[in-house]
Structure 1
Amino acid sequence: MTAKTYTKLAAAISNGWHSDFTPRRFLNNGHVMTLAGNFLPRHWSLPEPEELLVEVEEPVKGYEAYGPTSILCHCHWQPLDVRRERLTVVLVHGLEGSSDSQYVLGNSTRAWAAGCNVVRMNMRSCGGTDRFSPTIYHSGRSNDVARVVEEILSRQGLQAVAMIGYSMGGNLVLKYAGEYGVDAPSALKAVVGISPLMDLAVSSAALHERQNRFYEKHFLRSMIDRVRRKAELFPEMYLPYYASGKLRRLHSMRDFDEQVVARFGGFANADDYYYSVASSRCASQFSVPTLIVHSLDDPFIRMLPETRQVLIENPHVNFIETHHGGHCAFLAPSAGYDGYWAEKILLGFLLATVPNQVHGS
C-alpha cells in the first residue's frame, strides 16, 4: 500500500475492523492462492432462503412471447419485528458464479450471524435461472442491481442496505454506486468491491496471457455452454447464431465479448463494451462509504494507475491493495477465525460504518 492509502485507513485501523493481510503458508503465489480459495471445502449455516424473483427488463421488442427478463434472489430475513431496522447485505457474485458461490455463502453466514438481513442475488441466467432471462448478462448490468435494491426497499421498508460484489459483481455494485453518486437512495449506506473488475480492457488482455489460459478456457467453455442453453430456450433469438458455427471459432474471452456480448448486449464491439461498462469511469463519483480490496498478484484482474489514483483521492473510499491474495481468495493463517481475511474485514467495515441499531449489536 502507498503511504497515502495507509493514511486513509488510519481511522479504520483504530476502529479495529482493518488488519494487514498475511498470506497463509505456501499460498504466496497468486495462482495457488486463487485455486485454494476456490476449491478448499467450506462449511456454512444459513436458514432456508425466501425466493424473490425480480423483473429487471421488459420483453425484447419482436420477441415478446419470451416474456420479461427476471433475476432470482435468495433472501434470508431476520425476524419481522426487527427486520426493517437491521442492515440488509446484498451480495453479487462474479463471472459464471451464482448465489451459491462459496464466497457468497461465506459472507452470508457471517452477515446473518451478525444480525443482518442477507440477499444473495443471481445475475441474469446464473444459478440455473436461464429460463427467466431471454437476454444475456454482462459486466454493465448495474440497472439489475438497482432494481433489486428498489424491490427489497419497497417490499420490506428497509432502513439500511449495503452492497457487496466480487470480481465482475464488484464492477456492477461500484458502477451502480458511481452512476447514482450523491443521488443514491438514502438507504444505501455502504458498498464493497473485492477483486473488482473495474478496468475491463486490460483485464481481458491479462486473461489471455499464457499463464492465465487455464482460467480463460474455463470461462469460455462455460459461456459457450450458456449460449447453447439460450438457443434451446429462446431459439428465435439465439439459434441462428448458434447454428452458424461461429462459436467454434471463439478462442478467447475477448472473442466472446466481440461476437456474443456486443452482438446481443447492444454494443458496437468489444472495445465499446469494455469502455462503456467500466466502473473506473465513475470512481470519482462514489459518494457513500466504499471499501475496495485488490491484490497485486491477482492473476488476471488489472487496475490502471489512473484508477488507483482516483480511488486513493476519493475521501469516501477505503482502498486496500495487498501484495498477495490472488483473485477473490485472501486466505490468511487461521488465528481465532477461519482465515477468510477479506470476508472478515468487509463485515468489520460494514458494522463500523453503519449505525449499531441496524445490525443487532
Structure 2
Amino acid sequence: MTLDELGLSPFRPRPPWLGGHLQTIRNALMKPMVARPPASETELRLPVSDGTGDVLHAVLDQPAAAGEGLPLVLLAHGIAGSAESFYMRAVAARLLGLGYRVLRVNLRGAGPSRIDCKRHYHAGRSQDLRDAIDGLSPELTALGIVAVGFSLGGNTVLKLAGEQGANGPVTGVVSICAPIDLGATTRAMNRRGNRFYQSYLLKAFKAEYVAPGAELSAPLRAAVAAAESFVDFDRNVTAPRNDYASPEAFHAANSARHFVDRIRVPTLVIAAKDDPIIPFSTYRAVEWSKLPSIMPAFTEGGGHVGHHGRGGIWYVDAVEKFLSALARRDHHN
C-alpha cells in the first residue's frame, strides 16, 4: 500500500491557524464540539494481566447501522488525555458515520480508569492494549483490529505492532504525532519555547498520577510533587516506579523507533515537521524506505495533533482513507 493509493490530498492549513503553535493550541482556544452520528455507547471494563488488579475503562461506540466486513477501530489517547478527548471523539464520529465500531480506551490511570488502577500508563505500556483486546468478545475482534494512537498513544500502538509482528490481532495501525524517541522528546520539552506546553501537560499529568486509586510510596509522591519537568519526572518517578535503572533505560526499552522495523501490518505514520512538541529530527533518523509495511505521511505544517485544514481535520481524513484502502486490499485478496 502506498500514499498514492490512499488518495489523500496534501495538507493545507486553515487560516488563521498558521504555524505549528497555532495548529497545536487551536482546540484549547476554540473548545470545539463534535457532532455525533446516531450510535450507542457501552462502557466496558477490561482487566490487565500483570497481577495488580488494575482495570481499564473503555467506551464501545456502535453505529446505528454497522457496516459489513469492517474491523474494529481501537483509539489510544495521548498524555493527560482520555476517551473523551476531542481528537478521540472527532475520529470516532467520522468512523461511526461510515459504519465502523470504535473502542475508545482510557489508558491505565486515565479518566475513569484512575479509580480502578493502582499504576499508571506510560508510552510503552503496549501490553495493556493487548490485554484490553483479549478482554473483548470474539464477535468484536473477528474481522481484525486497526489501532489508532495519538501522541503518546501513537508510540504505544507502534510498539504493539512491532512486538506482534505478522501474527496478532492488530491488522493495521495509524500513529499521529507519536514521540517515537522518548528521550529526545522529553529533552525537547525542556526548551524555552516549549515551557508553556510542558507546564500545561505536566500539571495535568501529575494531578492524575496521584488521584484517588493510585498506589504510590511516600517518596514517589514527593518526587511527583517536586518534578518541574518531564526530565525530572522520568528520572525520579517513571524509571524507578517501573523498575528501570535509569531514564535512559526506560526510553530505550519503550521508544517506538526501536520497534518499527518489526512491523508487518499496514501502518500509516503521520507527523508534522513544525510540531513544537515532537522533534521531527526523530523521524528523519529512521530509514522509512526500508520499512515496506509503513507509509510515512509527513507534512510541512500541522503542529501537534492539529492538522486543521481547509477541508476539516486532515488526520481524520487520513484515518478514513487508510481504512478504506485496507478494505479494498482485503476485498481483492
Matched with 2:62 is 77
CA distance in 2, matches of 1:302, 1:148: 30
Q: What aligned pairs does 1:95-110 form with structure 2 within 5 A after superposition? A: 95-110=79-94
CA distance in 1, matches of 2:225, 2:259: 36
CA distance in 1, matches of 2:196, 2:180: 22
Q: What aligned pairs does 1:319-330 form with structure 2 within 5 A after superposition? A: 319-330=296-307
CA distance in 1, matches of 2:144, 2:199: 40
* Count of residue pairs the alignment pairs up: 329
CA-CA distance at 1:199 after TM superposition: 0.8
Amino acid at match of 1:69: D
Distance 1:181 1:77, change over 3 A: same
Q: What SS is found at the alignment partner of 1:152?
A: coil
CA distance in 1, matches of 2:282, 2:202: 28
Normalised by the length of structure 1, the TM-score is: 0.84
Residue in structure 1 matching 2:43, options 33, 48, 51 = 51
Whether 2:247 is the aligned partner of 1:274: answer no
CA distance in 2, matches of 1:268, 1:327: 31
- Uncovered stretches (5+) of structure 2, i.e. residues with no partner: none
Amino acid at match of 2:150: Y
CA distance in 2, matches of 1:10, 1:58: 42
Q: CA RMSD in A?
A: 2.3
CA distance in 2, matches of 1:257, 1:309: 24
Amino acid at match of 1:340: I
CA distance in 1, matches of 2:316, 2:67: 23
CA-CA distance at 1:45 after TM superposition: 0.9
Whether 2:122 is the aligned partner of 1:149: answer no
CA-CA distance at 1:39 after TM superposition: 3.7
Distance 1:113 1:92, change over 3 A: same
Amino acid at match of 2:265: V
Distance 1:122 1:348, change over 3 A: same
Query: In 1, are the aligned partners of 2:275 and 2:304 still within 8 Å (CA)?
Result: yes
Query: In 2, are the aligned partners of 1:194 and 1:328 still within 8 Å (CA)?
Result: yes
Matched with 2:9 is 19
Larger helix percent: 1
Deviations 1:213-260 (A, max 9, x none): 11111122122222332xx535xx4242256x4434311111111111
CA-CA distance at 1:268 after TM superposition: 1.4
CA distance in 2, matches of 1:348, 1:255: 40
CA distance in 1, matches of 2:2, 2:51: 46
Query: In 1, are the aligned partners of 2:147 and 2:172 still within 8 Å (CA)?
Result: yes
Residue in structure 1 matching 2:100, options 103, 110, 116 = 116
Q: What aligned pairs does 1:127-206 form with structure 2 within 5 A after superposition? A: 127-152=111-136, 154=138, 156=140, 158-185=142-169, 188-206=170-188
Q: Which has the larger radius of gyration?
A: 1
Query: In 1, are the aligned partners of 2:72 and 2:140 still within 8 Å (CA)?
Result: no
Q: What SS is found at the alignment partner of 1:254?
A: helix
Moved over 6 A (4+): none
Amino acid at match of 1:233: G
Amino acid at match of 1:273: F
CA-CA distance at 1:11 after TM superposition: 3.1
Amino acid at match of 2:69: E
Query: In 2, are the aligned partners of 1:283 and 1:311 still within 8 Å (CA)?
Result: no
Matched with 1:347 is 320
CA distance in 2, matches of 1:30, 1:356: 34
CA-CA distance at 1:124 after TM superposition: 0.5
Amino acid at match of 1:317: I
Q: What SS is found at the alignment partner of 2:104?
A: strand
CA-CA distance at 1:8 after TM superposition: 4.6
Amino acid at match of 1:71: L
Distance 1:181 1:38, change over 3 A: farther
Residue in structure 2 matching 1:28, options 13, 18, 21 = 18
- Uncovered stretches (5+) of structure 1, i.e. residues with no partner: 1-6, 61-67
